[in-house]
């Protein structure tokens, strides 16, 4: 089994930067923090080993958890009757994996013709991809791009925290035209996987198909780093209404081929009967 992003020491540092506390259960990271009116909320995300019902109760008592969310890697049959299905997910419940064991030539062949064409078109139009450390410039570019898509989440802090926590396991690629950055992507590594975490583009970048060339160069970098898979980190999942706005970039990601991976539903363990009634 591969190690998920959420179960790396770097991600634990990232979460601590954002105000979460960390603990271990079966060698996996548990994240928890106090929220107003709710109490302590915990998240056990993509664990290598599922906790037993007894361990869930012990975790609740030890860390005074009002709510504990479990986002499994595989279906949790032994403990299902102790858990309730959550209304939404913290992590993408559906994604696309690109198998990096195959050659670059095969990777290109498995893409949709339009995606493959746009990679070459961006290069012919003079788009140049560079490794960068200008995280503040990328964060500003991403925020501007997100606002044009109707997103107003304050993600700049998260972008900078992720970059800092991952150190040499984080990679920033910027696309340039006439020496000006027009698009970018922030990638982070787990031992076997490269994750496509944040991507943004100016209007000019989109016209030049810079995001398509960026994604291809990100996949090439992942192969160079010896990763087994490239994870596009989220596509539209019909079972969660919150992902309805993801349809646009889902079509973009589907153009690169790969395998669709769907995770089990997010589950929640309540110690507070009122919260269970409200299905917080």
pLDDT band at 137 (very low <50, low <70, confident <90, very high): very high
79 pLDDT above the threshold of 60: no
Which residues lie closer than 8 Å to 91 by C-beta, 6 or more apart?
Answer: 6, 45, 46, 71, 263, 266
Q: How far is CA 152 from the centre of its chain?
A: 18
pLDDT, the chain, mean: 91
Instruction: Provide the strand spans (E) within the chain.
Output: 21-25, 28-35, 39-45, 65-71, 84-85, 94-99, 128-132, 170-177, 180-189, 193-201, 229-231, 259-262, 267-270
pLDDT tens for each residue of 224-252: 999 999 999 999 999 888 888 889 899 99
Q: Quote the pLDDT of residue 153.
A: 61
pLDDT band at 271 (very low <50, low <70, confident <90, very high): confident
Please report, rounded to a whole number, the percentage of residues in the chain having pLDDT higher than 90: 71
Q: Quote the pLDDT of residue 75.
A: 67
Q: How far is CA 85 from the centre of its chain?
A: 21
Domain residue spans in the chain?
5-90+264-278, 94-262
pLDDT band at 152 (very low <50, low <70, confident <90, very high): low
Q: Is 192 exposed, middle or buried (0-12, 13-18, 19+ CB in 10 A)?
A: middle
pLDDT band at 175 (very low <50, low <70, confident <90, very high): very high
Fold assignment, 94-262: Aminopeptidase (3.40.630)
Fold assignment, 5-90+264-278: Aminopeptidase (3.40.630)
Nearest alpha carbon to residue 143 among 89, 202, 209? 202
**Strands across the sheet with 128-132, in order?**
128-132, 170-177, 180-189, 193-201, 229-231, 94-99, 259-262
Q: How far is CA 208 from the centre of its chain?
A: 25
Same fold, 5-90+264-278 and 94-262: yes
Q: What is the pTM of this model?
A: 0.93
CA distance 174 to 269: 42
Q: Quote the pLDDT of residue 280.
A: 55
**Other Cβ atoms within 10 Å of 229 Cβ, number:** 20
pLDDT tens for each residue of 14-61: 999 999 999 999 999 999 999 887 889 999 999 988 888 888 888 889
């Amino acid at each position: 089994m591969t190690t998920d992003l959420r179960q790396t020491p770097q991600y634990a540092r990232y979460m601590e930067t954002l105000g979460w506390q960390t603990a271990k259960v079966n060698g996996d990271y548990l994240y928890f923090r106090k929220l107003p009116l709710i109490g302590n909320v915990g998240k056990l995300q993509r664990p290598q080993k599922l906790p037993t019902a007894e361990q869930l109760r012990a975790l609740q008592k030890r860390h005074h958890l009002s709510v504990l969310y479990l986002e499994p890697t595989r279906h949790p049959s032994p403990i299902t009757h102790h858990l309730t299905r959550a209304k939404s997910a913290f992590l993408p419940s559906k994604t696309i994996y690109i198998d990096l064991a195959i050659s670059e030539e095969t990777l290109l062949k498995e893409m949709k013709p339009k995606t493959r064409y746009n990679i070459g078109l961006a290069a012919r139009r003079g788009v140049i991809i560079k490794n960068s450390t200008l995280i503040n410039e990328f964060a500003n570019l991403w925020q501007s791009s997100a606002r044009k898509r109707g997103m107003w989440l304050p993600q700049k802090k998260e972008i900078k925290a992720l970059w800092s926590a991952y150190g040499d396991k984080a990679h920033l690629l910027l696309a340039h035209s006439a020496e000006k950055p027009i698009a970018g992507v922030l990638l982070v590594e787990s031992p076997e996987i490269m994750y496509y975490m944040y991507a943004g583009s100016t209007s000019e970048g989109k016209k030049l198909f810079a995001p398509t060339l960026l994604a291809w160069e990100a996949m090439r970098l992942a192969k160079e780093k010896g990763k087994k898979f490239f994870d596009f980190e989220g596509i539209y999942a019909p079972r969660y209404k919150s992902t309805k706005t993801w349809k646009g970039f889902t079509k973009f990601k589907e153009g690169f081929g790969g395998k669709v991976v769907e995770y089990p539903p997010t589950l929640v363990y309540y110690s507070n009967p009122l919260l269970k009634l409200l299905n917080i």
